Homo-oligomer: A and B are copies of this chain.
Amino acid sequence: MENKQILLASRPNGVVVPENFKLATAAVPEPSKGEMLLQTIYMSVDPYMRGRMNDVKSYVPPFQIGEPLQAGIVGKVVKSNGGKYPEGTYLTGMGLWANYMVTNGEGFQPVDPDLAPLSYYLGVLGMPGMTAYVGLKGVAELKEGDQLFVSAASGAVGQVVGQIGKNMGCHVAGSAGSDDKIAYLKDELGFDEAFNYKTQDIHKATRDANPKGIDVYFENVGGPQLEAVINNLNFNARVALCGMIAVYDNKLEDMPPGPRNLAVLVGRSVKMQGFIVFNYPDLCKEWIQVGAGWLKEGKLKYRESVAEGIENAPTAFMDVLKGRNFGKQVVRLAGD
């Protein structure tokens, strides 16, 4: 029994490269009194992790060089030294890029393996799904009949955003980076409009996909897509800023120019708001119930990419940053 871990070897200088990671093997840790040994079954790789690789002030501290990176995980209590949950319990929370870790249970929640597959608690019922729900309900105040647009629409967050919009009676359009993804959005998820931003003129395509303008934009990418959206915002539009994957790789000095047309926000009384999902705990809890219900009713579809083994976590993460994954990317470290 050994404990493989992925450590941060160096901070990326622009694009993330394999050399930023190091695979290490340590002894399986022993839980002290009141602690539990958790075996990781699934771990999540997400775009926001790119920000934590930089040594900058943010809402969570940066990853430390020589230490394992952190990730949302689903794990099983395999040994308890008088810990909070009995052996055999499945927990989700912020863990490590590692096979094993010890925890006193703080920040972890038990999950029900019968309500949904375990990996779903890292995706549609986990942080990405909660992010979609919080951004739409808590930040953008989405309501029936709104014209909703989402970028990175086939990603872990985007696919949930679009389906919440459809279930709430909105016109839903989105952009993504391959024709396969576009077909999936339209044919399987029921998007009204979707386009491939890599092969279309982004300004024209954004306008065409949103013939009545945009009331709510769920922003995942930044860059030219944001500028194109701003030109199509309606009066009193709301922009939920979830992430800006297009700019994560760059140092400030090297970042591409921002949208030239921010002055539009003044005349059209637009609200643009960044948010952190953990600041909306009530909506997060609400989503687990709403989302699980919709999954059961067939009103919420969900697609995953599963990488096998911790050794492949860095590649899976770099794929996400490049948009190569299709659906929510997770890594399986052990059988359920």
Residues from chain B with a CB closer than 8 A to the CB of A276 are 267, 269
Residue A302 is within 8 A (CB to CB) of chain B in the complex: no
- Interface contact B274-A270, CB-CB below 8 Å: yes
Residues from chain B with a CB closer than 8 A to the CB of A243 are 263, 266
Q: List A residues 251-304 near B (Cβ within 8 Å).
A: 252, 255-263, 265-276, 279
Distance in Å from the Cβ of A56 to the closest Cβ of chain B? 9
The complex is assembled from copies of this chain, and their number is 2
Residue A111 is within 8 A (CB to CB) of chain B in the complex: no
- Interface contact A266-B279, CB-CB below 8 Å: no
Q: List A residues 142-185 near B (Cβ within 8 Å).
A: none
Binding site of A, secondary structure by majority: helix, strand, loop or mixed? Answer: loop
- Interface contact A252-B260, CB-CB below 8 Å: yes
Tell which of B51, B58, B267 touches A274, judged by Cβ atoms closer than 8 Å.
Answer: B267
Residue A133 is within 8 A (CB to CB) of chain B in the complex: no
- Interface contact B260-A59, CB-CB below 8 Å: no
Residues from chain B with a CB closer than 8 A to the CB of A279 are 269
Bound state CA distance, A227 and B242, in angstroms?
A: 19
Tell which of B258, B271, B275 touches A269, judged by Cβ atoms closer than 8 Å.
Answer: B275
Bound state CA distance, A256 and B263, in angstroms?
A: 12
- Interface contact B260-A256, CB-CB below 8 Å: yes
Please give me the residue from chain B that is nearest to A230 by CB atom: B258
Bound state CA distance, A274 and B258, in angstroms?
A: 17
Bound state CA distance, A271 and B274, in angstroms?
A: 6
- Interface contact A51-B267, CB-CB below 8 Å: yes
Tell which of B59, B222, B235, B258 touches A235, judged by Cβ atoms closer than 8 Å.
Answer: B59
Distance in Å from the Cβ of A134 to the closest Cβ of chain B? 11
- Contacts known (A258-B260, A259-B258); A265 close to B252, Cβ less than 8 A: no
- Interface contact B252-A266, CB-CB below 8 Å: no
Bound state CA distance, A276 and B268, in angstroms?
A: 8
- Contacts known (A222-B263, A261-B258, A263-B247); A273 close to B271, Cβ less than 8 A: yes
Taking beta carbons and an 8 Å cutoff, which residues of A are in contact with B? 51, 58-59, 222, 226-227, 231, 235, 241-244, 247-248, 252, 255-263, 265-276, 279
Given A247-B260, A258-B260, A269-B279: 8 more A-B contacts, CB < 8 Å = A58-B267, A58-B268, A59-B269, A231-B252, A243-B266, A269-B276, A271-B274, A272-B272
